[in-house]
Amino acid sequence: MKLYGQEKSNSEILSFIHKYVDSVKANKRDRYHDILSLFPEGNGSILDYGCGWGHFSIALSEKGYNVSGQDLSQNEIDICNLVWGNHKNVIFEHKEIVEYKNSSFDYVLSNQVIEHVHNAGNYISQINRILKKDGCLVIALPNVMNPRHMMKCLNKNISNTLLNVSKDTLSNYNKTHDHINAWDPVHFTRLISSVGFSFVEFIPMEGVALPFMKVLPSYFYSRSKRLRNLSYTMAFKFRKVKDSQIRNFD
C-alpha cells in the first residue's frame, strides 16, 4: 500500500494514520469538527462518498449511523480496512456510485472531492439519485473567495502563471491531488440547488488563508462573520427536495 505515492509497510501506515487522526481531533479549528457538527446523533444510513482514510466514516458510526465508506482508489480502501478492521456499523467499499440503488441513504458526506471532478453536475445528480426524499447532503470544499487565491489572480504576469499551469497539467495531471473546479459560496449554492436540493446550513472553515509572505501568518482567525466568509474551506448542508437528474450535455 502507498501513502502519498510511496510504498509503506503496514506498521508505518498504521502509525501514520493514527497520529494524523489524533492531531486532527486535537485541533479544534480543523474542519473535521465543523463537518461532524452538521450530523445530529442518529441511526440512519450514510454514504461517505470518497472516504479516503476512513476517519470520518468511523466518527459517523460512533454517532449511531450505519456507514458505507466508498472510494474509487483500491489503495485507500485497503488502508481503511487495515487501520480500522471490522468496525461496527461500517463497511468500506471500492465501487462506483452508479452501483448503489436509488434512494439508498439518509445522508451523503462528500468531503473535499467535488473540486477534483470533471462533471460536477453529474456528480451531484448521482448523489440526488441515491438519497432518500428529504435526505441530506453534507459537502465540504475549498472556497475560492480567500485572499491567498485572489492574490494569484492579481499577478501582473498572470499569463506566465497560466502557461505554467497548462504545461504542468498536460504533463503531470493527477486527479487525486489537482483541483480543477472552484466556487464561491453563492455560485456553489446555485449549482447544488439546480440539482434538486434546498439550502440548510453553511459553515466557513479553517480561517482566512493569507498570501504566502514571510511577514504574514498562514491563516487569520476572525470573530467577524463577514471576514469569516473568506475562509479557506467551507461546508454546506443541503436537503433533497425533488428528484433531478442531469444529462451528459446539460
Q: Are strands 105-111 and 90-93 parallel, antiparallel or unpaired?
A: unpaired
Q: What is the pLDDT of residue 73?
A: 93
Cα 36 from Cα 55, distance rounded (Å)? 11
Cα 224 from Cα 167, distance rounded (Å)? 40
pLDDT of residue 249 exceeding 90: no
Cα 67 from Cα 185, distance rounded (Å)? 28
pLDDT of residue 152 exceeding 90: no
DSSP state of 183: B
Q: What is the pLDDT of residue 106?
A: 98
- The residue with greater pLDDT, 88 or 78, is 78
H or E element: which one contains 171? helix 158-172
Residue pair 78/1 in contact by the 8 Å Cβ criterion: yes
Of the candidates 208, 226, 52, which has an alpha carbon nearest to the alpha carbon of residue 143?
208
Q: What is the pLDDT of residue 250?
A: 85
pLDDT of residue 132 exceeding 90: yes
Cα 219 from Cα 212, distance rounded (Å)? 10
Mean pLDDT of 105-122: 96
Q: Are strands 105-111 and 219-220 parallel, antiparallel or unpaired?
A: unpaired
Three-state SS for 180? coil
Cα 234 from Cα 56, distance rounded (Å)? 16
Q: Residues of 207-243 as b/e, b for ≥16 C-beta within 10 angstroms? A: bbbbeeeeeeeebeeeeeeeebbbbbbbbbbbbbeee
pLDDT band of residue 57 (cuts 50, 70, 90) is very high
Domains in the chain: ranges and CATH: 2-240 (3.40.50.150)
pLDDT tens figures, 192-245:
999 999 999 999 999 999 998 888 899 999 889 999 999 999 999 999 999 998
DSSP state of 211: P
**The pTM is what?**
0.94
- CB proximity list for 42: less than 8 A, separation 6 or greater: 63, 64, 65, 106
Helix axes 120-130, 185-193, angle to 10 degrees: 50
